[in-house]
Amino acid sequence: MRRSVPHVLLASLVATLCSLTLLVQAQAPAVAPSRTARDTHVKAEHLVAMRDGTRLHTAVYAPKTCTPGGAPILLERTPYSASPYGPDTYRQMVGPSRAFADEPWIVAYQDVRGRYMSEGEWEEVRPYKPGKRGTEWDESSDAYDTIDWLVKNVPCNNGNVGMWGISYPGFYVLAALIDAHPALKAVSPQAPVTDYYLNDDSYHNGAFLLAHNFSFYVDFPPRGRQPRRPQRDTEFNYGTRDGYRFYLDGGSLMEMSRKYGLDKNPYWMMNHDHTAYDDFWKARSIWRHFKNVTPAVLVVGGWYDAEDLNGALRTFRVLREQSPNTESHLAMGPWTHGGWARSDGARTGAMEFGQPTSLHYRTEIEQRFFARLLHGGAAPSVPGVSIFETGTNRWLTADTWPPKAVPRAYYFGGEGTLSATAPTAQEALDEYVSDPANPVPLVGVEAIGMPRDYMASDQSFAARRPDVRVYRGPELTEDVTVRGSIGVDLHVSTTGTDSDFIVKVLDEVTEGGQAGKQILVRGEPFRGKYRKSFEKPVPFTPGEPDEIRFELADVAHTFRKGHRIVVHVQSTWLPLVDRNPQTFTDIPNAKPSDFVKATQRVYRSAARPSHITLPWVR
């Protein structure tokens, strides 16, 4: 959801990307240079009145030529600015991608309520209101009213509307599909926010995503009540390139908040005030309302999306469960957050895929989905599920996700082994000392915060630390393909009263130029005090064994013959997540004396067999 790129740079970023596209096209003499939006469209700006009288700034780009039957409307509602502003200033391109250039589309961009040039007051992930009457409103009704105005007032439209949006705009797409306007025929929520607390942007298994949230909110202050254009504010200056040291020296969350003025930002402070899965978060869990959805839905996500991977997977799963008659599709590729829209997708981090995966998505999936449903005609349908499998580097299609798989346990063993054989020892364990003053770094290179591609990074540097327990499987004698979520079952104890336990599943390369690298396949923290419930934290009894069970998000990956399956267990991961003081307390307000070393034990006996479970399909 949270963009690390300052809003004032968006126009130049888009222009740069478009220039790269033009360069590639220029290398193929048979293809004419792409035209800009000014060449093909006429722009108009409107203040569209909602049912309560609040007016939302809406920029409409209509084709210069009205084709017989009219053109469909594509709408993006965004909190990140519908710029550029003014009827004579144009975007370089309109619509989701250049793949839409060969057909006529009316494209509308809207500042959501309370953002930039729209009236009203903005609210973070505004809750849905069921049973609205009269002038009662929410984001679903704002989308409805906007679509109603567009189809009635924009000339030469064919009465069909589609919506798309990446990240936070994806949340507004989800709001629109609830109680949808009859003209809304197709929507594509891409990396959408569905539940801030349950593994989207704010918390992962109870642990706060520190660097990601800090970098967003420090440059995302409240606008105020009056509309205004984006301001040329100075981007936050960290004063260093060493993000690890910046966050380590920052102290507790409250100390950081006061030091950098974030204690005055209500959007940041909501994370301080709601550290458990309380009614505040549940009211914003938009996925609970996906029932009787009428538009067709194309859900899009990236396997290496460090922000909203779970949002895409949850949206598709819940739609299939709660709204089974809805035409729903899923496209998952090897991308970081939004990478499918802005790169060719040939590589991510340490992973290379040998093909332009993003170009395939934009032309063969996204454009076809909207063209068939909004233009009609002969556009082919897209598969129910399109999945890119890493390791084998191939696209797969299916009707459902996840597929049927055979759960296979891999047990932690003595001398750092990982085996499919369950342990038989009566007493067996490993231990390490976790020190909040010396946390495990997120990546092995200098980085200011959360690198966009850390989910495809080499984590072998961490294996050399004494506070990381490493379990390595043997060299594989055949390919092992896993599709679906990875189960984690930890039997642990701590000398503290609270601790985090981070589990990373890695693919160790054993040959070639990358030999010895341990590439992250999936990794997640778990804040131990939420092992019973995310609603009500409970402390550990020091030294007493306990169990933590959770799942790592879905994967589609093949560990190749000759590689090793590796697991890391650790208790810190800075600056991805905030430091757990290892004392049961209100972590945002923890005192310096609360931060203590703790001895962590990982049990691997017959009675307490710590292990992961992989969803085998081969």
pLDDT digits (tens, 9 = 90+) for 81-112: 999 999 999 999 999 999 999 899 999 999 99
| E strand or H helix that includes residue 150 | helix 139-153
Is the bond preceding residue 575 a cis peptide, omega within 30 degrees? yes
Can you give the pLDDT at residue 6? 38
How far apart, in whole angstroms, are the C-alpha atoms of residue 374 and residue 42?
21
pLDDT digits (tens, 9 = 90+) for 182-197: 999 999 999 999 999 9
DSSP per-residue string spanning 236-258: P--S-S-HHHHHHTT-SHHHHHH
How far apart, in whole angstroms, are the C-alpha atoms of residue 165 and residue 296?
15
Which of 138, 109, 143 has the alpha carbon at shortest distance from 125? 138
Same fold, 7-195+284-398 and 406-616: no
Residue 16 pLDDT greater than 70, yes or no = no
Which of 115, 328, 143, 379 has the alpha carbon at shortest distance from 224? 115
478 DSSP assignment: S
Contact residues for 411 (Cβ-Cβ < 8 A; gap 6+): 418, 419, 420, 421, 422, 423, 604, 609, 610, 611
Residue 28 pLDDT greater than 60, yes or no = no
Tokens 């596209």 -> residue: 21
Distance of CA 507 to the CA centre of its chain: 22
Tell me the average pLDDT of the chain: 93
Global model pTM greater than 0.85: yes
What's the rounded mean pLDDT across residues 434-447?
97
Can you give the pLDDT at residue 1? 55
Tokens 């009457």 -> residue: 133
Can you give the pLDDT at residue 514? 85
Contact residues for 547 (Cβ-Cβ < 8 A; gap 6+): 489, 490, 491, 492, 531, 608
Q: Which two tokens stand for residue 487?
A: 């189960």
> Strand 480-494 to strand 598-603: parallel, antiparallel, or no bridges (unpaired)?
antiparallel
Can you give the pLDDT at residue 40? 95
4 DSSP assignment: -
Longest dimension (CA), the chain: 79
Rounded to whole angstroms, what are the CA distances from 328 to 332, 360, 616? 13, 19, 25
Distance of CA 288 to the CA centre of its chain: 18
How far apart, in whole angstroms, are the C-alpha atoms of residue 280 and residue 29?
57
Can you give the pLDDT at residue 233? 66
State the number of CA atoms in the 13 A half-sphere of 327 facing the CB.
14
Distance of CA 461 to the CA centre of its chain: 26
Q: Which two tokens stand for residue 13?
A: 């970023």
Residue 291 pLDDT greater than 90, yes or no = yes
How does residue 237 score in pLDDT terms, banded at 50, 70 and 90? Answer: very high
Residue 26 pLDDT greater than 90, yes or no = no
How far apart, in whole angstroms, are the C-alpha atoms of residue 188 and residue 196?
19
In the CATH scheme, what architecture does the domain 7-195+284-398 have? 3-Layer(aba) Sandwich (3.40)
How far apart, in whole angstroms, are the C-alpha atoms of residue 65 and residue 522?
49
Helix 168-177 with 139-153: angle, nearest 10 deg? 80
Residue 12 pLDDT greater than 80, yes or no = no
Residue 575 pLDDT greater than 60, yes or no = yes
Residue 13 pLDDT greater than 60, yes or no = no
* CB 303, CB 395: distance < 8 Å: no
Least confident of 32-46, 254-268, 391-405, 506-520: 32-46
What's the rounded mean pLDDT across residues 582-592?
97
pLDDT digits (tens, 9 = 90+) for 537-572: 999 999 999 999 999 999 999 999 999 999 999 999
Q: What is the CATH class of 406-616? A: mainly beta
- Paired with 296 in beta bridges are 186
State percent of the chain over pLDDT 70.
94
pLDDT, greater one: 265 or 378: 265
| E strand or H helix that includes residue 266 | helix 266-273
Q: Which two tokens stand for residue 321?
A: 């469960």
Tokens 């499987």 -> residue: 473
Helix, strand or coil, per DSSP, at residue 443: coil
Residue 398 pLDDT greater than 50, yes or no = yes
* CB 597, CB 434: distance < 8 Å: yes
How does residue 23 score in pLDDT terms, banded at 50, 70 and 90? Answer: very low
- Locate the DSSP E strands across 364-453: 385-389, 394-398, 406-412, 418-419, 429-434
Q: Which two tokens stand for residue 469?
A: 């327990």
The domain locations on the chain are 7-195+284-398, 406-616
Residue 14 pLDDT greater than 70, yes or no = no
Q: What is the CA radius of gyration of the chain?
A: 25
Can you give the pLDDT at residue 92? 94
No. of helices (H) and no. of strands (E), the chain: 13, 25
How far apart, in whole angstroms, are the C-alpha atoms of residue 607 and residue 349?
39
Burial class (CB in 10 A: 0-12, 13-18, 19+), 465: middle
Angle made by CA atoms 215, 220, 222, in degrees to the nearest 5: 150
DSSP per-residue string spanning 186-244: EEEEES----TTTTSSSEETTEEBHHHHHHHHTT-----SS--PPP-PPPP--S-S-HH
How does residue 232 score in pLDDT terms, banded at 50, 70 and 90? Answer: low
What's the rounded mean pLDDT across residues 345-351?
93
